[in-house]
Structure 1
Amino acid sequence: MYRLVGTLSGVNTSERLIESTRELLWERGYVGTSPKAIQQRAGAGQGSMYHHFSGKPDLALAAIRRTAEELRAAAEAGFRAPGTALQRITAYLRRERDVLRGCPVGRLTQDPDVMADPVLRQPVEDTFAWLRTRIAEVLAEGRERGELTAALDPAATATTVVAVLQGGYVLARAANDSAPFDQAVDGVLNLLAAHTADAG
């Protein structure tokens, strides 16, 4: 779902550098993303890189922010889809993903260099806070409309949904198989379905 580096020819140097850094962070992590590797993938010289960015941390921040923005936009498309709260959460959870590569934002939480830097960590932290809040809002709307039972706790359930999704990525990568991810999604959706007003 995330289109990081496609055809970069014709794209300006700054964009090529950001897109290349995004891809490398996803593949190799922060330490493995060297300025030289970024320049080679972007087809840009050292002078061009330092003309646009003060250094690797500055470029990494731009890349992480871009990835976080794309994740939010993709999630919001599901949350704004027509239908009940459960249908909208389902649209979000079942959208196309490159499961075996993992979540490009979630994987950053396993990168000690990113987590140790408050500036680089901030967009990651903000993204997950936003995601939990948006899911909670959708669930609260469903409860107010009578689609979901009053017993459902929107905030706690939203955190559960995010935790299951991220855990699903981990299980899928460990097994080198997307089936555990699909099972995790099925499981959390079944739990949500038990809270629908017509669940029985």
Structure 2
Amino acid sequence: MVDPPVNSEGTRLTARGAATRERIVLAAAELMAAKGVAATTLDEVRIASGTSKSQLYHHFSAKDALVREVVTYQAQVVLERQYQLLRGVSSFAGLRRWRDAVLQRNVLRSGAHGCEIGTLAAELSDTDEAARQALAGHFATWEQLLADGFRRMRDNGTLRADADPATLSVAVLAAVQGGYLLAQAAHDAEPMRVALDMALTHVETFATPTTGL
């Protein structure tokens, strides 16, 4: 059984309170994605979420608590999407389908906006230690999703026995994040395409001789 959500003081929330809290987090996530964390004020979140000052401070007594909740929310969205794309990957064809889905989403946004958690990491990692640790954990989860796919490919003979799933997952995720950043700066998905293709070409160097690419 899932425990009821709680506010920043640890008080369990009613269904109505949980809905208000969710509305605040969603509004904050949207504003912080558009303006950045530092430039987003609690008054702006209050207005965007349609809540009173007392409601806002009942759920989040300080901005830091709201920021951490936004980190959790954005990570859940990103990681669920990645889980759905990566959970069945066990071949190069599956890996390319993942690549196509990641790239297509970037194409539809003309390269803009970047990665939801990558953007937060860039802004918070040197100023908010708690947020940095949380984000590092979320990236580790993403790496694990990739590594699980590479491990399946190694186990079924698609990749050679000397392929290291953990190392390959770091390389591919670094390409994803670098691709997001360059595409965001260019407002063009082409840097993402190049980065992903180079990363998958590297993975292909570990293909077994019998693997059809």
Moved more, 128-137 or 60-69: 128-137
Unaligned runs of 5+ in 2: 1-17
Tell me, yes or no, if the aligned pair for 1:102 and 1:170 is still in contact at 8 Å. yes
> How far does residue 50 in structure 1 lie from its aligned partner after superposition?
0.8
1:142 aligns with 2:153: yes
Tell me, yes or no, if the aligned pair for 2:114 and 2:181 is still in contact at 8 Å. yes
1:160 aligned residue? 171
Encode CA deviations 1:25-60: one digit per residue, 9 max, x unaligned: 212222111101111211222111012222211111
Give aligned-pair identity as a percent: 26
TM-score between both structures, scaled by the size of structure 1: 0.84
1:38 aligns with 2:49: no
Tell me, yes or no, if the aligned pair for 1:78 and 1:89 is still in contact at 8 Å. no
Q: Pairwise mapping of residues 17-166 of structure 1 onto structure 2 (< 5 A)? A: 17-81=24-88, 84-95=90-101, 96-97=105-106, 98=109, 99-112=111-124, 115-166=126-177
Tell me, yes or no, if the aligned pair for 2:23 and 2:49 is still in contact at 8 Å. yes
1:187 aligns with 2:198: yes
Question: Which one has a bigger Cα radius of gyration?
Answer: 2
- Which whole-Å CA distance do the structure 1 matches of 2:92 and 2:130 have between them? 35
Tell me, yes or no, if the aligned pair for 1:171 and 1:181 is still in contact at 8 Å. yes
TM-score between both structures, scaled by the size of structure 2: 0.80
Unaligned runs of 5+ in 1: 1-10
Aligned residues: 188
> How far does residue 89 in structure 1 lie from its aligned partner after superposition?
3.1
SS at match of 1:196: coil
> How far does residue 199 in structure 1 lie from its aligned partner after superposition?
5.5
The alignment yields a C-alpha RMSD, in angstroms, of: 2.1
